[in-house]
Amino acid sequence: MKFLEQEPSPKFDFCYIDGAHNWNDTGYAFFLVDKLLNPGGLILFDDLDWTYAKSPSQKDSPHVKRKPEEEKTTPQVRKVFELLVKPHPSYHFFFRK
């Protein structure tokens, strides 16, 4: 928030997104990073294929057990990448490690 309030806003060449691994938080993180990334800058998304269902530390937790099956088994970071990043007109060079 403070970066966006600054005039001019700082700009970054590289941003690493490693957050809550869900659609809402990762999608919002991308939205914010997009506002602060220099043209031609890079974004690295961690854990593209992570799911609640495969997480050793979370799969048996009460909050995950209450989630719908689709939410538990969908790699939500990948969904952000496929549905928000790839179609975005500012991004065109994609690679996987």
- Tokens 């590289």, residue located: 14
For the stretch 19-63, pLDDT in tens is: 899 999 999 999 999 999 999 999 999 999 999 999 999 999 999
Helical ranges in the chain per DSSP H: 2-5, 23-36, 62-65, 69-73, 76-80
- Model confidence at 96, in pLDDT bands (50, 70, 90)? confident
pTM of the model: 0.91
Each residue of 58-84: pLDDT tens digit?
Answer: 999 999 999 999 999 999 999 999 999
Q: What share of the chain is helix, strand, coil (3-state, %, to 5)?
A: 40, 15, 45
